[in-house]
Chain A
Amino acid sequence: MTAGIAVDGLCLSLGAFRLDGIGFAASRGEILVVLGPNGSGKSVTLETIAGFHRPERGRVLIAGRDVTALPPERRKIGFVVQNFGLFPHLDAEGNVAIARRGDRGAAGKSASAPPRDPAALLRHFGITHLARRLPGDLSPGEKQRVALARAIASSPDLFLFDEPFSALDAQTRDELRDELKAFLREFSIPAIFVTHDHTEARMLADKVVVLRGGAVLQSGPTAEVFQKPATAAVARFVGVENILDARIAGVSGGMVSVDVARTTLRAAAPGCAAAGSAVRIGIRAEEVMIAVAAGAAPSVNRLDGKITALRERGPLVAIEIDAGLPLHAYLLAPQARAMQLGAGTAVTVEVAPDAIHVMTD
């Protein structure tokens, strides 16, 4: 963990708000996404790592250095905020050149990389032609490049991103996110990225920390947090569309039967709970398969139901089905048209046992 970022037991009170024992770690080249709703404390966490709040307890380690007592200017951090936070009175080169290079108080063996020449950085990011432009004249993509060039100019050991894309349209966001990922891979510096958008988190993150009310609800590798949320609260927050109260009906081998509403489902859930206990199940909408052909051979978790609502969502159609339990599902718009689906259409739905996630909390 010497070349990464580690946050350990961070506690902090700010007025009525409180961070309570925040802890996580990421190593070199990893992107850690802190995911949480507004007011969850994700920005405060980021600013505490950057050195703008002094924690009451806990430590911040960047590249193996304990920086908890250091001011922001000596922590070696690249900080990128919403709209990229370029200095509006300086042109692109001025923004990059203002970063203080050379000795930044890094003591001992973690000596900083040699100072980076602004002109060379602009060239590296392909924005030499923008050197004399003021931020007001730059597109979001150009701003991001200037912001990244500026951040890298001071040879940071850690990158912090505070919802840099939240004011952009979806397409620009996709483009800039890809570019950002490529950039972070190239420089192999750990990054902490804060967002309230679970889609964005899923696309960017190697690791995810879900934050709510100033405390960590769950943290772990992205696939784990998104596919196996520990609690219904996390499941809701990572965008699991179907979260239902259920009861374990029986356990056999790696499978459990769960009673949900007026039906029973089989779920692959090794040793999660005893028969009779109340649980919640989570099913992602894309795991709910829909077919119009009724009367096929009954199989595991195949249910007959009726469409209660259809909603177009761009290329997708969100479908609500009553199949003994209420389910949300997606179809591609042309598929839905071809199947001539409408409210009231009788359909068959199927959910694979391993797509049903059982949560005890």
Chain B
Amino acid sequence: MAWLLAADRAPGAPGERAAPSSPRGLYLLCWFLGSLLTAFLVVPLLALVLSQSWAGFAQVARMADVREAIVLSLEGAFLSATLAALAGVPLAYGLARTSFPGKGVVEALIDLPLAVPHTVAGIALLMVFGRQGVLGEPIAALTGLRFWGTLAGIVVGMLFVSAPYTVNAARIGFAAVDPRLEKIARTLGLGPWRTFWRITLPLARRGVMTGVTLTYARSISEFGAVVILVYYPMTAPVKIYELFLRFGLDQAAGAAVLLLVVSLGLFLVLRALSRGAPERENR
């Protein structure tokens, strides 16, 4: 009887959860529908890659303007992700750890760029950062930094549409860090800053890295906002669009595959970096 009661008292103990009878039908349905969606996502990209002959691909890869466009995209995305991290991570921490009137409004505002068509975002940005924009003109006059026809303009377009990813993922990451761990760190003699750097940020690392990676990926792929704000110099998506208009599908597809290979490679590396390490830590 005693052991019966002891067992009753330990429902929270790890490893005590009973395995539910495996819902086979549900799993099969999930697998089936999931496979359809996965195929829908992968098949077009695969078809694109397979459409290219090696010779045609190599020829496009040797085109200086295509390579420049890809490098420009990578540069812009790197700067965009860096800025998103610098400003978005503190914002995410603030949203995760404090509550204030109007917090819901702030969170909705941060998500707004995700709901705005990117051409609309481009036009709005043009009004602010363009040649006659409310910020563009005075900033150019004061500092010489111009947002038209420059990398700076490209970064503005990329950042606007992609920053929400960093803020949201980092906020979720910070919210998952037990505040008691921060309190313990304080009692151990670490001040608030040291606690953030040594405890909170490393524990939220996965969320932060996921967010920055998504921002980076979204920045590389951005077309609408960038093309309205800065047509020249051309980022890779703009270049691909131009090739498509001027020379047709073949040329455009070659450049598209090149961009796909480069950006996918970088994306996978970043993903591995953001996922791999914490898993090793929690082993």
Contacts and interface: CB of A to CB of B under 8 A. Distances in A.
B190 A100 contact: yes
B6 interface: yes
Nearest to B179: A52
A254 B25 CA distance: 76
Interface in B230-283: 278, 281-283
A72 B199 contact: no
Given A79-B183, A87-B199, A73 B2 contact: no
A81 B184 contact: yes
> Which one of A51, A88, A153, A315 has the greatest number of beta carbons of chain B within 10 Å?
A88
Interface string A54-75: 0000000000000000011111
B189 A101 contact: yes
Interface residues of B, number: 29
B1 A312 contact: yes
> Which one of B183, B184, B199 has the greatest number of beta carbons of chain A within 10 Å?
B184
A77 B1 contact: no
Given A79-B187, A170-B6, A85 B13 contact: no
Interface string B163-183: 000000000000000101101
A229 interface: no
Interface in A131-163: 134, 136-137, 150-151, 153-154, 156, 160
Interface residues of A, number: 39
Given A73-B189, A170-B6, A314-B2, A50 B283 contact: no
Contact of A85 (B5, B178, B190): B178
Contacts of B187: 50, 72-73, 75, 77-79, 154, 156, 160
Given A98-B185, A98-B198, A100-B188, A85 B180 contact: yes
Contacts of A100: 188-190, 194
A361 interface: no
A137 B283 contact: yes
12 contacts: A73-B191, A77-B187, A78-B187, A79-B183, A98-B198, A100-B188, A134-B281, A136-B283, A153-B188, A154-B189, A312-B1, A314-B5
B183 A89 contact: no
Interface string A108-146: 000000000000000000000000001011000000000
B17 interface: no
A47 B178 CA distance: 15
A99 B189 contact: yes
A314 B178 CA distance: 36
B10 interface: yes
A170 B9 contact: yes
Interface of A: 47, 50-52, 71-75, 77-79, 81, 85, 87-89, 98-101, 104, 134, 136-137, 150-151, 153-154, 156, 160, 167, 169-170, 312-315, 333
B103 interface: no
A75 B189 CA distance: 8
A156 B199 CA distance: 20
A79 B5 contact: no
Interface of B: 1-2, 5-6, 9-10, 12-13, 178, 180-181, 183-191, 194, 198-199, 202-203, 278, 281-283
Contact of A99 (B12, B13, B180, B188): B188
A16 to B, nearest CB: 15
Contacts of B186: 50-52, 71-73
B282 A134 contact: yes
A81 B189 contact: no
Nearest to A166: B12
Nearest to B13: A169
A89 B281 contact: yes
Contact of B190 (A47, A73, A151, A169): A73
A73 B183 CA distance: 9
Given A85-B181, A160-B187, A169-B6, 18 more contacts: A52-B183, A73-B187, A73-B189, A78-B187, A85-B178, A88-B281, A89-B202, A98-B188, A98-B190, A100-B188, A100-B189, A100-B194, A101-B189, A136-B283, A154-B187, A169-B10, A170-B6, A313-B5
Nearest to A158: B187
Nearest to A100: B189
